C-alpha cells in the first residue's frame, strides 16, 4: 500500500537515490512553520498551492480561555496569521468552530483521503495513515520546500508489517495494543520504515482507534503508519463536511478501494503480536516503549537484555522516582490529562465519561479534559459528557495541544506525577520535572477516581486491595 501511494506520486527521480514526490495535502501549525515562511520570503517565493495547504493554531493556545495574553503565544499566533493572510492559506484560529489539534481536525473535516500524500511539520502526522494515506512529519527545510513547490525529495522508505492476531479482550484499546507493541519492539526499532497495521484486531477498530494506533507509529521510530481503507473508513469519510459528494464520491470510492496491499506482497520486515492475552498497559519510564501491563510491577533494570536498555531503565527510574518491584497499581497520581491527538477524540471522551459517571476524582487529584477539537467539544457537550467531567471535579477545556507538551499554560507543576492519554513521556515533556505515565482514556479515568494507576475493573472491586 505504501509503495502504491509512493509510485502514484513520483514526479521525477531527484538524484542520489531520491524521488521527487507530489504532496496532496500540507498541514501547518504555529509551532513549526514560521522559519519556513521566513525562508520563502527571503527567497522571494510564493506558496505554490495555498488551496492544498491548511493551517491551524493548536500548540500554543490556552485552553482555559479564548483570550490569548501570553506574549510568546501572541507572537507565534500573530506570525502564523500574517503568513496565512499573505499567502491566502485557510487558517483555523483559536476559538473557531473547526479549530483543534491539527491531527484531529484534518480527518474530521474529511480532507485526508486514502492514497493521498500528507505532510506537516509535526511528527504525529502519522495519525492520518489511519485513512490509508501516506502521511509523515517533516522538518523546517522540507516544510519550506513543500510550501514553495508542493513536492518533496525523499528516499523511498522501507516497509514493515505489524500483524495483530487474536481477539482483544474487552477493555483493551488501541492505545494498549500500541503500548504493548512499543514495549516489544522498542522506541526506535521501526526507524526508516512505514508500518502497515494488519489483521482482524485492526479491522475491528473504529476510525478514532485507528488514528490512535497510527499516531503512535512515530514512537516506534517509524516514518509513518498506515491502515488499509475499508468500509469503516468510507463510512467515516462519507459523514465528513468536506468529503466528495455525488458522482465525485462514487469516483473517489473506486479509486480508494485500489489503494490496499496486494495479497502476497512482501514487506521488508514483519512483526506479529497476539492481542488475545493483553490487559491495560501503562508506562513506567521515560520513553513510550518502557511500558508494562498495569497488573505488573516496575521492572528491575538488570532484567533487560542489553546494556543500553539497562542504562536507560536506571535513568528512567531515577527521573520517575520509582523503585523496581513496586506494583504499578500502587503508584499514586496527582494529575490526569485526557486529550491530545492520540486520545482526544469524542470516542476517547465517551470512554472516560463512562468510567467517571456518578463518581468523583480522588481527593487531591486534578484532571484536565481537553477535547482534541472544538467539534469534539461541541459533540461531547451535545451528549452531556462535559457535565459528567465537571460533576466528577475535572476541568473542562477548549481545544488545543494543552498538557501534551509544556508549550502553553497547561503544565504539570513541579515533580508531580501525571497519568496522560498523550503519546510522549520524555523527561520534561509535560513540564520541566513532570513525571508522565502514558495510559488509555479508560485507564486515565479510573486512575483519576482512585488517585493511583488503575483500570476501570478496579472500581468494581473496592475491597480487592
Ligand X SMILES: CC(C)[C@H](C(=O)O)[C@@H](O)C(=O)O
- Check residue 405 for interaction with ligand X (CB under 6 A): yes
Long-range pairs, 203-207, Cβ under 8 A, ≥24: 203/230, 203/232, 204/168, 205/174, 205/232, 206/232, 206/347, 207/107, 207/130, 207/131, 207/232, 207/233, 207/236
Give the containing element (helix H, strand E) for 410.
none
Q: What secondary structure letter does DSSP report for 429? A: T
Smallest gap from Cβ 410 to ligand SF4, in A, equals 11
Site string for ligand X, 12-31 (x = CB under 6 A): -------------------x
Tell me which stretch binds ligand X (CB under 6 A): 11-19, 115-123, 238-246, 290-298: 115-123
Q: Which single residue is written with the C-alpha cell 473535516? A: 109
The span from the CA of 146 to the CA of 23, in Å, is: 7
Residue 386 or 397 with smaller CB distance to ligand X: 397
**Smallest gap, in angstroms, from Cβ of residue 341 to ligand X?**
8
Distance CA 138, CA 249 (A): 30
Pick out the residues of the known binding site.
Answer: 341, 401, 404
Q: How far apart are CA 248 and CA 176, in angstroms?
A: 38
For residue 32, state whether it binds ligand X (rule: CB under 6 A): yes
Q: What is the DSSP letter of 52?
A: G
- Of the pair 72, 248, the CB lying nearest ligand X is at 72
Min dist CB 348 to ligand SF4, Å, is 12
Q: Where are the beta strands (DSSP E) in 85-239?
A: 90-92, 117-120, 134-137, 151-155, 158-165, 193-198, 224-226
Detail the residues annotated as belonging to a binding site for [4Fe-4S] cluster: 341, 401, 404
Point out which span in 47-55, 119-127, 282-290, 413-421 binds ligand X (CB under 6 A): 119-127
Residue count of the chain: 465
Please give the backbone phi and psi of residue 202, each rounded to the nearest 5 degrees, phi first: -80, -45
The answer to whether 124 contacts ligand X (rule: CB under 6 A) is yes
Residues that bind ligand SF4 (CB under 6 A): 58-59, 101, 103, 122, 124, 340-341, 401, 404-405, 422-423
| Cβ-based nearer residue to ligand X, 349 or 404 | 404
DSSP string, 125-152: GGGGGGGT-EEEE--HHHHHHHHHHSEE
Site string for ligand X, 34-63 (x = CB under 6 A): -------------------------x----
Residue 32 interacting partner from ligand SF4, ligand X, none (CB closer than 5 to 8 Å by kind) = ligand X
User: What's the min distance (Å) between Cβ of 18 and ligand X?
Assistant: 22
What distance in Å separates the CA atoms of residue 323 and residue 234, rounded to the nearest whole number? 48
User: Which is nearer to ligand X, 121 or 400 (by Cβ)?
Assistant: 121
Binding site for ligand X (CB under 6 A): 31-32, 59, 121-124, 137, 405
Amino acid at each position: 500500500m505504501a509503495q502504491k501511494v509512493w509510485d502514484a506520486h513520483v514526479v521525477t527521480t531527484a538524484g542520489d537515490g531520491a524521488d521527487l514526490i507530489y504532496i496532496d495535502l500540507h498541514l501547518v501549525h504555529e509551532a513549526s512553520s514560521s522559519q519556513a515562511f521566513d525562508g520563502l520570503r527571503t527567497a522571494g517565493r510564493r506558496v505554490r498551492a495555498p488551496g492544498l495547504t491548511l493551517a491551524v493554531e493548536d500548540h500554543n493556545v490556552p485552553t482555559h480561555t479564548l483570550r490569548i495574553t501570553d506574549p510568546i503565544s501572541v507572537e507565534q499566533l500573530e506570525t502564523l496569521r500574517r503568513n496565512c493572510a499573505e499567502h491566502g492559506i485557510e487558517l483555523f484560529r483559536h476559538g473557531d468552530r473547526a479549530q483543534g489539534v491539527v491531527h484531529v481536525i484534518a480527518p474530521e473535516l474529511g480532507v485526508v483521503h486514502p492514497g493521498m500524500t500528507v505532510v506537516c511539520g509535526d511528527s504525529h502526522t502519522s495519525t492520518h495513515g489511519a485513512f490509508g494515506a501516506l502521511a509523515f512529519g517533516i522538518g523546517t527545510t522540507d516544510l519550506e520546500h513543500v510550501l514553495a513547490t508542493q513536492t518533496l525529495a525523499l528516499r523511498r522508505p522501507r516497509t514493515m508489517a505489524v500483524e495483530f492476531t487474536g481477539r482483544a479482550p474487552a477493555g483493551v484499546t488501541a492505545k494498549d495494543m500500541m503500548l504493548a507493541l512499543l514495549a516489544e519492539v522498542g522506541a526506535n526499532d521501526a526507524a526508516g520504515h512505514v508500518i502497515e497495521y494488519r489483521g482482524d484486531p485492526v479491522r475491528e477498530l473504529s476510525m478514532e482507534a485507528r488514528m490512535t494506533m497510527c499516531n503512535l507509529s512515530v514512537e516506534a521510530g517509524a516514518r509513518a503508519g498506515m491502515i488499509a481503507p475499508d468500509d469503516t473508513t468510507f463510512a467515516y469519510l462519507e459523514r465528513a463536511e468536506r468529503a466528495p459528494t455525488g458522482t465525485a464520491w462514487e469516483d473517489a470510492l473506486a479509486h480508494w478501494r485500489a489503494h490496499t496491499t496486494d495479497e502476497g506482497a512482501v514487506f521488508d520486515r514483519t512483526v506479529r503480536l497476539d492481542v488475545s492475552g493483553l490487559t491495560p498497559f501503562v508506562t513506567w519510564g521515560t520513553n513510550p516503549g518502557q511500558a508494562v501491563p498495569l497488573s505488573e510491577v516496575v521492572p528491575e533494570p538488570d532484567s533487560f537484555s542489553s546494556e543500553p536498555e539497562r542504562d536507560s531503565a536506571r535513568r528512567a527510574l531515577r527521573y520517575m522516582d520509582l523503585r523496581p518491584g513496586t506494583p504499578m497499581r500502587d503508584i499514586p497520581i496527582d494529575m490526569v490529562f485526557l486529550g491530545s491527538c492520540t486520545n482526544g477524540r469524542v470516542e476517547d471522551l465517551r470512554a472516560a465519561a463512562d468510567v467517571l459517571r456518578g463518581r468523583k476524582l480522588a481527593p487531591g487529584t486534578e484532571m484536565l479534559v481537553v477535547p482534541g477539537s472544538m467539534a469534539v467539544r461541541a459533540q461531547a457537550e451535545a451528549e452531556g459528557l462535559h457535565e459528567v467531567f465537571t460533576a466528577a471535579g475535572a476541568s473542562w477545556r477548549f481545544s488545543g495541544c494543552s498538557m501534551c507538551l509544556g508549550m502553553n499554560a497547561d503544565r504539570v507543576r513541579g515533580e508531580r506525577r501525571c497519568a496522560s492519554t498523550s503519546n510522549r513521556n520524555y523527561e520534561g515533556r509535560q513540564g520541566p520535572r513532570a513525571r508522565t505515565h502514558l495510559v488509555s482514556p479508560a485507564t486515565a479515568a479510573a486512575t483519576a477516581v482512585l488517585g493511583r494507576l488503575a483500570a476501570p475493573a478496579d472500581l468494581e472491586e473496592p475491597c480487592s486491595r
